[in-house]
Amino acid sequence: MSFPWANEYKPTNPLMQWVDDRLPLPRFVYNAVGAGYPVPRNLNYMWNFGILAGFALVLQIVTGVVLAMHYAANAGVAFDSVEHIMRDVNWGWMLRYGHANGASMFFIVVYTHIFRGFFYSSYKAPREMIWLLGVVIFLLMMATAFMGYVLPWGQMSFWGAKVITGLFSAIPLVGTPLQQWLLGGFAPDNAALNRFFSLHFLLPFVILGVIILHVWALHIPGSSNPTGVEVKQESDTVPFHPYYTAKDGFGLGIFLMVYCALVFFAPNLLGHPDNYIPANPLSTPAHIVPEWYFWPFYAILRAFTSDFLFIPAKLMGVLAMFSAILVWFFLPWLDTSPVRSGHYRPLFRKFFYLLVVDVLVLGYCGGAPAAEPYVMISQIAAMYYFLHFLVILPVVSSIETPQPLPFSITEAVLGKDEHATLAPATPAVA
Amino acid sequence: MTGEGVRRRDFINIAAVSFAGVGGLAALYPLISQMAPSADVLAESSTEIDISAIAPGQAIKAVWRKQPVFIRNLTPEEISAAEKVDVSTLRDPETLEKRTTAGKTNWLITMGVCTHLGCVPLGAGEGEVKGEFGGYFCPCHGSVYDTAARIRKGPAPKNLEVPPHEFSSDTVVKIG
């Protein structure tokens, strides 16, 4: 589905015509990310991050498939095979650093993409399904990243695997058997390492599949935009290509500069030195923390230190950590304001920035040792996190008076609809 | 079809789909079961340890099922400290007698696996922090265990687990 004024695919090359008649794949691409997809003319740089996330996934798949040609998923040699990649394999150091920092870049980009969604309420009707699929993608990303971090079989890998599978042992009755089933043993060992490798290879392709659904769902209503006003007329849109391929290309350049700076000048900045010590099942590192992108959720896990409502502290922490993401599934129905964009919602906007600060505080506490004052700060921040989604958002939606919206996207950009000129690639409307 | 009566074809349809469904579910069983601990992992189920060299106040770390086991020779002070505690005030109420073998109350044998999320607590090695109750201290999330390895403080829900064990002689203990 698209707007009636969308450009139609008309191949001039006879070969492309021949292919299109038999398999309309060129048409499909043209309508999805080409000149056949009309996009609001007022998108800002926050709208770059979907494409950047897609690029990061491709980057991870390419470097990952190549690394898998040299890596050995066996507890006896896994650590050594990673060192072999670093020291002996041609360009191995670059591929591994590229893959490890690529994961961080992927999360930076996806977190920005998610918070773009929070600010502009991109999850509201008719775009709920895009949002729900996005949360599924994020959950899959977390599982994939966690299993990838286990593969080098260093101290952080081993104890990360032990602690995270230990979360499942908090479930009443079936917890411990479930943990042993997940690990294939009583502690992380060869069985666990092998299955993590298998799933770490598989899941990115599952993510790719869900991304296709995510983009498919996006193309039903079309992209949202910074005003939150729906597209009304042809002058509100420009074709995706060349307008947004160019804008996304600029963003991609910035992305690659940051990425290369990390890979070539600070490849271990976001890692932990402990993971260069081979896994030792008899000694826990003094300070185990997950990778930075899990810190906010790790802080919520650790915020529960005593039993609460007859639920043991351990189970409570696990439930809270998973709920912190599951609550996003309910976002389209918790925020009932008819206005989408934070630009026109003065009260909502203040609470949005408070949430950003809150998540940053949680992230800092999640990376800090489990001691005071960090425990108390995480408790307050975790409480505020849930308060934001479950109480503040519905209340703000009902009491807030939004500012007046522009009549159309064109008016928001040019002041008046009559000033609009149409993109030269499209024929003018009579 | 007007909806009256059951045709032979309806019966065949339901029977065929049910049969295929049962077959599909049956095929899931091995796919799920293959992930459980394999026979060789389960076979490493017992280990014998010589404890003759452990002096009172000392502890060693042994390995059972690829996990650490703490074997600790308690001093009389540690035993009396553990026995003085009112059991009903504990999060996981157990006496030292229940956690050790009769007549060998000084031998405290527990898993070296914190019941919170599975880290190895400190306190068994020479010079390690034992925590404010003189037993074990888990550095990951701050759980504190007493001299009977019972949980006293922090997020862990249970006492350190006592693995099945028996004394083959005065100097050898068999775990598992």
User: Can you spell out the DSSP letters for A171-205?
Assistant: STTTHHHHHHHHHTSSSS-HHHHHHHHHHHHHHHH
CA distance to partner chain A, nearest, from residue B56 (Å) = 22
pLDDT given at position A315: 85
Closest CA to A313 of A302, A323, A324, A297: A302
**What tokens appear for A39 in the block?**
């996009």
Please give the model's pTM, rounded to 2 decimal places: 0.88
Asked if A195's CB is within 8 angstroms of B35's CB, the reply is yes
Q: Which amino acid is at A242?
A: P
pLDDT band at A428 (very low <50, low <70, confident <90, very high): very low
| Subunit contact A282:B63, Cβ cutoff 8 A | yes
Give the type of residue at A204: P
At A424 the pLDDT is 56
Query: Tens digits of per-residue pLDDT, A223-256?
Result: 999 999 999 999 999 999 999 999 999 999 999 9
Residues pairing with B136 in the sheet: B145
A288 touching chain B per CB within 8 A: yes
Banded model confidence at residue A425, pLDDT cuts 50, 70, 90: low
Confidence band for A429, pLDDT divided at 50, 70 and 90: very low
ipTM of this complex > 0.90?
no
Mean pLDDT score, A268-278: 93
Helix (H, G, I), strand (E, B) or coil at B118: coil
Residue of A nearest to B34 (CA): A184
A115's CB contacts (< 8 A; 6+ apart) are A356
Average pLDDT over residues A321-350: 95
Helix axes A190-218, A155-168, angle to 10 degrees: 70
Chain A neighbors of B120, CB-CB under 8 A: 282-284
All residue ranges of chain B with pLDDT < 70 are: 1-4
Closest-CA distance, A189 to chain B, in angstroms, reads: 8
- Domain B41-175, architecture per CATH: 3-layer Sandwich (2.102)
Question: What is the length of chain A?
Answer: 430
Contact B105, B129 (CB under 8 A): no
C-alpha R_g of chain B: 25
What are the start-end ranges of the E strands in A191-324? 237-239
Please answer whether residues B107 and B73 qualify as being in contact, where contact means their C-beta atoms are separated by less than 8 angstroms: yes
DSSP 8-class letter at B159: P
The tokens for B1 are: 């079809």
Nearest to A197, CA basis, from A139, A157, A156, A168 = A157
Q: Tell whether the model's pLDDT for residue A163 goes beyond 60.
A: yes
> In terms of Cα–Cα distance, which of A257, A246, A152 is closest to A197?
A152
The response to whether A272 counts as a known ligand-binding position is no
Q: How far apart are CA B160 and CA B145, in angstroms?
A: 8
**What contacts A173, CB < 8 A, 6 or more positions away?**
none
Residue A371 has pLDDT above 50, yes or no: yes
CA distance B100 to B54: 16
Query: What's the rounded Cα separation, in Å, for the pair A283 and A207?
Result: 35
Which residue in B38, B66, B139 is closest to A284 by CB distance?
A: B139
Any idea where the domains of chain B sit in the sequence? Answer: 1-36, 41-175
In CATH terms, the fold of domain A32-417 is Cytochrome Bc1 Complex; Chain C (1.20.810)
The reply to whether A214 sits in an annotated binding site is yes
B151-153 and B165-167 strand pairing: unpaired
Cβ within 8 Å, pair B41-A184? yes
Domain spans in chain A, listed from the N-terminal domain onward: 32-417
CA distance B131 to B136: 6
Q: Which of B65, B67, B115, B141 to mutate to test the interface with A (most CBs of A within 10 A)?
A: B141
Separation between Cα atoms, residue B19 and residue B31, nearest integer Å: 19
What contacts A299, CB < 8 A, 6 or more positions away?
A362, A363, A365, A366, A374, A378, A381, A382
pLDDT tens column, B39-59: 888 877 788 888 888 888 888
**Using CB atoms, which residue from B61, B66, B142 is nearest to A185?**
B66
DSSP annotation of A161: H
The answer to whether the beta carbons of residues A5 and A234 sit under 8 Å apart is: yes
Q: Is A70 annotated as a binding residue?
A: no
**Interchain contact, B119 vs A312, CB within 8 Å:** no
pLDDT of amino acid A30: 92
User: Which uninterrupted H or E stretch holds B135?
Assistant: strand B134-137
Interface of A with B in 298-337 (CB under 8 A): 302, 304-306, 312-315, 317
> A208 in helix, strand or coil?
helix
Task: Say yes or no for a CB contact (<8 Å) between A162 and B117.
Answer: yes
Q: Which of B129, B141, B158, B168 is catalytic?
A: B141
- Interface check A191 vs B, CB under 8 A: yes
Strand duo B107-111 + B134-137: pairing: unpaired
Q: Does A15 touch chain B (CB under 8 A)?
A: no
Quote the CA–CA distance of B153 and B118 in Å, as a whole number.
16
| Amino acid letter, A416 | K
Q: What tens digit of pLDDT does each residue of A343-367 get?
A: 999 999 999 999 999 999 999 999 9
User: What percent of chain A lies above the pLDDT cut of 90?
Assistant: 79
